[in-house]
Amino acid sequence: MKKILFGILIGGVLSTLFFSSLFSLNTYTKVEEGELIEAEEREIIEAEEREIIEAEDGESKGVKERPVNLLINGNIIDYPDNIKPLFYNSQYYLPVQFLSENLDAGVIYSNNTNELIIMSKPNNTDLAEIKVWEIKYLMKVGYSKEYIIELLGEEPSLVFSDDEDNSDTVWRYDIGAISGYEFEEKSRTADIESLEKGDIKAQLYIGLKEDKINSIFVANKSGENKIYLHYVFPDGSISGGLYE
């Protein structure tokens, strides 16, 4: 039976059902790899507006492009230069981080648990919970100190010198603290006792090097009255988990 080569790409899978109402034909996606398909599938493939690359010695030849535009809730989303939507086997592929961030969710990869974590931004009015989400999912190594103040909306509670992990200085933020709260410890040690009592909702330490974020450590109390630790190291790797 005659074979036809049709382009594919490997990536994260997003269902056609979800995206069928989101895409229109303007922006292009590349098809770089190939697989053999039965000749009678040509009509179905062409009906789906996919392009077919004829086989040559059983190998993929050339590159074809398919126009696709992305809309979320009626708004056209611009693609960065290094991102294109991919289509294979009746499904669309987009980078998890790009799509999540455009759906108002954050993405991090935890090295110690080998997990890709996607978390929606809290939609409640607890400002401390929202700040903790912003710290974990928006704050990155290399961002400026001005970004920190803009994101958190305030100056740090305490500034001290600390050359651990080659940082020049450390900024501490006491998030959701009660009136009169004090903690004079000038080291990156979370005030676990006050977190447990509810005197503060979260405590953040940011190591700065040449006025840019070098490391991040935040301890916070969850709605289940559990304390979680979150570390971001100078190389950008992430660790942490439940405090026990």
Same domain, 65 and 126: no
- Give the separation between CA 78 and CA 75, rounded to whole angstroms: 10
- Tokens 């995206």 identify what position? 19
80 & 162 share domain: no
Q: Based on the fold, state whether residues 122 and 28 are members of the same structural domain.
A: no
Looking at the structure of the chain, the number of domains it has is 2
Q: Average pLDDT, whole number, for the chain?
A: 78
Pair 130, 39 in one domain:
no
Any residues with CB less than 8 A from the CB of 149 and at least 6 apart, and which? 155
Encode pLDDT of 190-200 as tens digits. Answer: 999 999 999 99
Both 28 and 90 in one domain: the answer is: yes
Res 27: pLDDT: 38
The CA distance from 71 to 77, in Å, is 6
User: Which domain-ending residue is among 50, 82, 102?
Assistant: 102
Say whether both 82 and 179 belong to one domain: no
More confident residue, 58 or 212: 212
For residues 75 and 97, membership in a common domain is answered with yes
Least confident of 50-54, 85-89, 175-179, 224-228: 50-54
Which tokens go with 25? 């034909």
**Domain ranges, residue 8:** 3-102
114 plus 92 within the same structural domain? no
pTM above 0.75, yes or no: no
Buried b (16+ CB within 10 A) or exposed e, 206-220: bbbbeebbbbbbbbb
Is residue 218 scored above 70 in pLDDT?
yes
